[in-house]
Amino acid sequence: MNSILLHAPALIIALPLLAAFITPILGRFNRKTISWLATCVLGLTLLLTIFVARQVLTHGPIVYVFGATETGLTLPFGYTMPIRIIFQIDAMGIFMGLITSLVAFLAAIYSISYMEQHTGLDKYYTLLLLLATSMFGMELTGDIFNFFVFFEIASISSVALIAFRSTISGEPAEAGLKYMVVSSISALMVLFAIGLFYGQYDALNMATIASVMQFTQLDKIALILLVTVLAMKAGSVPMHMWTPDAYSEAPAAITMILVAASQASLYALFRIVFSIYNVTLNTVTVGWILIILGVLSMFIGVTMAIIQKDIKRLMAYHSISQTGYMLLGVGVGLAVLTNPVALESFGIKAMEGGIFHIINNALYKGLLFLTAGAIFLRTDTRDLNKMGGLAHNMTYTTIFYIIGAAAIAGIPPFNGFASKLIIYESVYRFNPLLAIIAMLVSVLTLASFVKVFHSAFLGPRLEQYKSVQEVPKSMIIAMAVLSCLIVFFGLFPNLIVKYIVHPAVMALINQAHYTATILGGI
């Protein structure tokens, strides 16, 4: 038993992968079991992730060396550089891993009834498992080329899932093509940057690169490429155009995972800026680049959301705007990284706000997309003009929608308020104007969700939706779990911030500790 748990980091990847490989064979014999298989495996993965998280948060970072004689043998005897692929799991990585496993598990539960009428379900679940696996890989790995491989799996599987409904109409295929083109460019640019690193330092391990980083001309170019393409994959303005297309055309459960996937890219951006470059780069300039990207995303995202007529497109623009908050919080932290006084007084808090917002965003954005999926399942339309009066028939969905909308708009006591409050207060001490913009964006967010609430749920019972029923149980369970977590996080924010978010932020800031985990010694 103990030895199995020693291999938990590898099993987090290997189990869903094995399930994904078996699914096509199994799908030939018994179509019904596939959804349950996927759900069970993802549930098991969630348990493993929680176990690993407990290990990491109590005993410090875990390393797992693939193919070595021992799991912790990072360096071959008598050498000072790692040669094998190493999983390096610190508080930040496992924080993202928790989000991913939770979201993937709930998406699998939700899909059981949501995808019932679709054909090709074995392919759907295979791709779902693969997408979850690839996100784990991106978050846990400590090897930059391994990151590229998982990045590519993530984009290919999400493209296939976005285009999954293209047998019905052409739009999903169009959205998939757009996403595929931009993510191929980004993956190739990441590979080019890896080549730049490899050519200079002859290393692929992120900690090794970080320990010899000199910020030469080539490192600058690699930084430009990596920051741009990862910010693009996270959906920041002005490279956000794929986001509304992809999010609105994917099935609802997949949209929820795509939100988490774009946050995994955001995580990779933070990892590269903080763990590989850290203070060698010009922190103020790069910090301001992140801040400007964040502010643009917040503002343009929310203003574009207000004029949308498609419910999922509207929510997709909101997720762009929420990404802006994370970039803003962490960007402020980066901008004051070389100034210990400012870092201590508000930089760390700003980063805590930004990182805390990641998990909050995954929860309420996921909930909102799931409610949008529930509406789509019953009314067969995403056009807000055609909806109305759904609150009469879909009571649970309405309640969940209100919780999600209140959380995203930052109304206490839900979780969105907690992280936004931290961001406002700490950013205000950095630059008051930014905090004011952030608050304005929050108000506009509330306005646009009031619009959705009014046009979809309120109003008289419409003729064509007289016979609409509440959605099936599995969908309600998934939404209820998310709602409970939102309320819990909102009521006890300090619990989360202190025990999960703060270690994650410290793991990002403390580069010496990151390299020492692999290379040994301080």
Partner 1 sequence: MNIALLETGSGYWNTLIWVVTALIIGVCVLWLRNRGESRYKKDTDQTKPFLSGNPEVSKEDSHVGASHLYWGFTEALKNYYEPLVKMHTGNINDYSGWIVLVMAIIFIIIGVS
Partner 2 sequence: MIGNFPFIAVIILIGLGVYSLLFKKNLIKIAIGLTLIESGVNLFLIALGFRKGAVAPIYTQAPEGVKMVLPTPQALCLTSIVIGVATTALILSIVMVIYQKYGTINTDEIRRLRG
Partner 3 sequence: MKKPVFFIAFIFFLAFMVLAAIGMRPFGEPSISNMDDYFIENAQAETAANNVVTTIVFDYRGFDTLGEGTVLFTAVVGIVALFREVAK
**Residues within the interface to partner 2 (CB under 8 A):** 145, 149, 152, 156, 159-160, 163, 166, 169-171, 173-178, 180-181, 184-185, 187-188, 191-192, 194-195, 198-199, 202, 204, 244-245, 248-249
> What is the rounded (10 degree) CA torsion for 292, 295, 296, 298?
160
Our measurement of the distance from residue 119's CA atom to the centroid of its chain's CA atoms, rounded to an integer in Å, reads 28
Q: How far apart are CA 522 and CA 509, in angstroms?
A: 16
Tell which one of 26, 40, 145, 241 touches partner 3 (CB under 8 A): 145
Which CB, 433 or 491, lies closer to partner 1? 491
Residue burial 71-101, b: 16+ Cβ < 10 Å; e: rest: beebbeeeeebbbebbbbbbbbbbbbbbbbb
257 binds partner 1 (CB under 8 A): no
Candidates 33, 36, 80, 492; binder of partner 1 (CB under 8 A) is: 492
- Give me the least distance between CB of 187 and partner 3, in Å please: 10
CA angle 170, 174, 175 (to 5 degrees): 120
Which residues 47-76 are close enough to bind partner 3 by CB under 8 A? Answer: 66-67, 76
249 binds, among partner 2, partner 1, partner 3, none (CB under 5 to 8 A by kind): partner 2
Considering the rule CB under 8 A, would residue 288 count as an interface residue with partner 3? no
Cβ distance 393 to 470 under 8 Å? Answer: yes
Instruction: List the one residue out of 455, 449, 457 whose CA is nearest residue 408.
Output: 449
The answer to whether residue 42 forms part of the interface with partner 3 (CB under 8 A) is no
Minimal distance, residue 493 CB to partner 1, in Å: 5
Q: What, of partner 2, partner 1, partner 3, none, does residue 170 touch, CB below 5 to 8 Å by kind?
A: partner 2
- Residues 356-415 binding partner 1 (CB under 8 A) are 384-385, 387-389, 412-413
Q: Which is nearer to partner 2, 78 or 199 (CB)?
A: 199
- Contact indicator for 382, 388 with CB cutoff of 8 Å: no
Q: Three-class SS of residue 516?
A: helix
Nearer to partner 3, 232 or 497 (CB): 232
Alpha carbon 289 to its chain centroid, in Å, reads 21
**Nearest to 54, CA basis, from 12, 100, 91, 7:** 91
| Alpha carbons 293 and 297: distance in angstroms, whole number | 6
Asked if 519 interacts with partner 3 (CB under 8 A), we say no
Sign of CA dihedral 470, 472, 477, 478: negative
Least Å distance, CB 160 to partner 3, is 3
Stretch that binds partner 3, among 131-139, 312-320, 356-364, 478-486 (CB under 8 A): 131-139
CB of residue 145 vs partner 1: minimum separation in angstroms?
A: 22
What is the total residue count of the chain? 522
| Residue 426 found at the interface with partner 1 (CB under 8 A) | yes
186 binds, among partner 2, partner 1, partner 3, none (CB under 5 to 8 A by kind): partner 1
Instruction: Work out which of 103, 107, 222, 239 binds partner 1, going by CB under 8 A.
Output: 239
- Residue 81 engages partner 3 in binding (rule: CB under 8 A): yes
- Complete DSSP assignment for 294-308: HHHHHHHHHHHHHT-
